[in-house]
Amino acid sequence: MPATPSPSPAPGLRTAPPAKAPAPPRSSGIALVAALLGFAVITIDVSAVNIALPSIQDSLHSGMTGLQWVVDAYTLMLAALMLSAGAFADRAGARRAYAWGVALFTLASLGCALAPSIGVLVGARVVQGAAAAIVLPASLALIRHAYDDAQARARAIALWTSGGAVAMAAGPVLGGLLTDASSWRAVFLLNLPVGALILALLIRVPHSPRRPAVLDGGGQLAAVLALAGLAFAVIEGGHLGWTSSPVLAAAALAVASGYTFCVIEARHRQPMVPPSMLKDRRVAVSLAVGFSVNATFYGGIFLLGLYYQQLRGMSGTAAGLMFVPVSALVTMGNLVSPRLAERIGRRSVIVVGQLVFLTGMLAMLLLAAHTPLWLVLVLLLPLSTGGALAVPALTALLMDAVPPERAGTASGLLNSLRQTGGALAVALFGSLLAGSDGNFSLPGMRISLLTVALLLLATAALSRLLLSRD
């Protein structure tokens, strides 16, 4: 049926131009810069410390167990406390919660830099992870409150996600350069001036609205125990044996605590994770895709770091520099994603991003000990762009699916699952990578790649089936 033509304006009359969305106030840009800096600095601490581990071991005379806790103490606290931190951001107000989190993170970073022993360093990393758990959801909620226009908000979120993705990819570079130029303590000292700058910027950001809510201490405890038990089982399963008593006990604790968490949330008057929120397909799919994408990206970066250093014999700095092209392409993908979503729809961008990511995992199956470096970089193109396309679109989709007063809760839930996905991927890959002689295993790397490829295929199918075209 042909379309009905629009009536022509009367002669001599001009039609008014279409109304444009008002430009966001200057404080919105300041809020975005503050949020981006905080997200970047806590993300760098996930990856930069990995390159500094040998220096930490020599300086503090630590064994491998201590080094593992230096990494795991931060990541696990970040993932476990994210749920309460999101609700805390809603209750305290995004600006206030963000300021408190940044201040605590900065002080904990100073504690890490001055640590005289491995035990003190691990303790400071626990505090760092707890502070990062506040900073992450509060930073996204800060953006949600700063931008009322949906398109402007989507672009701001894209910049926010690009900052985190670039920081994740650039972390190994900074870790190697700072450690070689000074010492591992410089990795933590870098956070001090950045934290001070963020707090100075927040003075010019308006106060965020607050939503009264009851603390869900039982639910938070159950969530911490569930994630801790699951992480212990996955990490130690490869070392102690999957049927060993400690691993089975940890798995049982994870299952029991997870069930307890669901029961508490269903009965709580003001739960951390409202069951009604999870009934929205947009929310459920965003959470599943966030878990899958982070498991792939964190796992891929972890695999590549070991591949460069253990299989190819590259130095930490040289291995870190190999991530520079990845960082540049991630930035471009994050900036392109919202504009692409406006043209073809968020569902298409989310699905395509995951399929590109899946292609990257399959391409990495070709990596071997003597693969030319130029070919390695070519094979990493899908790894650099797939997640960068999907994450801004799924994050914007989630923020539009919840009311503003639930922005912190939704952000905390998304980032908790994303961090959990990354932590579990690294733990599982670590178990698969060790060969019979304890060295890097190419077959183990390929099994790891196939595992996340199947996960991406599943969540891409869910995205295509459950999300509506927009």
User: Model confidence over 284-297: pLDDT tens digits?
Assistant: 888 999 999 988 88
Measured on CA atoms in the order 94, 280, 227, 252, is the torsion positive or negative?
Answer: positive
Residues 440 and 354 in one domain: yes
Per-residue pLDDT at 63 exceeds 80: no
Is 360 within the bounds of a domain?
yes
User: pLDDT exceeding 70 applies to what percent of the chain?
Assistant: 88
Residues 207 and 285 in one domain: yes
Is 150 within the bounds of a domain?
yes
Q: Residue 340's domain spans which residues? A: 26-216+268-466
Per DSSP, what are the bridge partners of residue 440?
A: 434
Average pLDDT over residues 354-358: 92
- Stronger pLDDT, 108 or 61, i.e. the higher one: 108
User: pLDDT exceeding 90 applies to what percent of the chain?
Assistant: 19
Mean of per-residue pLDDT scores for the chain: 81
pLDDT band at 64 (very low <50, low <70, confident <90, very high): low
Residues 156 and 243 in one domain: no
Least confident of 116-120, 189-193, 204-208, 299-303: 204-208
Is 31 within the bounds of a domain?
yes
Per-residue pLDDT at 10 exceeds 50: no
Residues 104 and 244 in one domain: no
Is 346 within the bounds of a domain?
yes
Q: Write down the pTM of the prediction.
A: 0.75
User: Model confidence over 230-259: pLDDT tens digits?
Assistant: 877 877 776 778 888 988 999 999 999 999
How many angstroms separate the CA atoms of 341 and 332, rounded?
Answer: 14
Top-ranked range on mean pLDDT: pick from 41-45, 63-67, 268-272, 412-416: 41-45
Residues 343 and 415 in one domain: yes
- Stronger pLDDT, 2 or 374, i.e. the higher one: 374
Is 7 within the bounds of a domain?
no
CATH number, residue 145: 1.20.1250.20
Residues 370 and 441 in one domain: yes
Average pLDDT over residues 334-354: 86
Residues 212 and 247 in one domain: no
The reported pLDDT for the residue numbered 19 is: 44
User: Model confidence over 308-324: pLDDT tens digits?
Assistant: 877 888 877 787 788 77
The reported pLDDT for the residue numbered 127 is: 93
Residues 454 and 444 in one domain: yes
Residues 321 and 272 in one domain: yes
pLDDT band at 20 (very low <50, low <70, confident <90, very high): very low
Per DSSP, what are the bridge partners of residue 434?
A: 440
- Of 225, 244, 267, the domain-final residue: 267
Q: List phi, psi (to 5°) of 274.
A: -60, 125
The count of residues in the chain is 470
Is 58 within the bounds of a domain?
yes
Least confident of 123-137, 312-326, 346-360: 312-326
For the chain, what is the domain count? 2
How many angstroms separate the CA atoms of 197 and 233, rounded?
Answer: 40
The CA R_g of the chain, rounded to the nearest whole Å, is 23
Q: List phi, psi (to 5°) of 260.
A: -60, -40
Residue 23: CB partners within 8 Å, gap ≥ 6? none
Judge whether 302 and 429 are in contact, CB under 8 Å.
Answer: yes
Residues 175 and 247 in one domain: no
- For the chain, first and last CA: distance in Å? 23
Is 12 within the bounds of a domain?
no
Least confident of 158-162, 379-383, 389-393: 158-162
